[in-house]
Structure 1
Amino acid sequence: MKHTLIHLNSSPYSNLSCKEGLDLALVLATFEQPVDLCISGGALAILATNQNPSAEQGKNLHKLLEGLEFYDIENIFVEKSDQIAGSNIWQGIQTLESQDWHSLFSNYQQVFRF
Structure 2
Amino acid sequence: MAIKHAETPEGLREEVAGGGLVLVDYGAAWCPPCRNLLPILDELDRDYGDAVSVVKVDCDELPELAAEAGVMSMPTVIVYKGGQPVEKLIGLSPKSVYTGVLSRHLS
Larger Rg: 1
Question: In proportion to residue count, which structure has more strand?
Answer: 2
Q: TM-score, structure 1 length as denominator?
A: 0.35
Q: TM-score, normalised by structure 2?
A: 0.36
Q: Which has the higher helix share?
A: 2
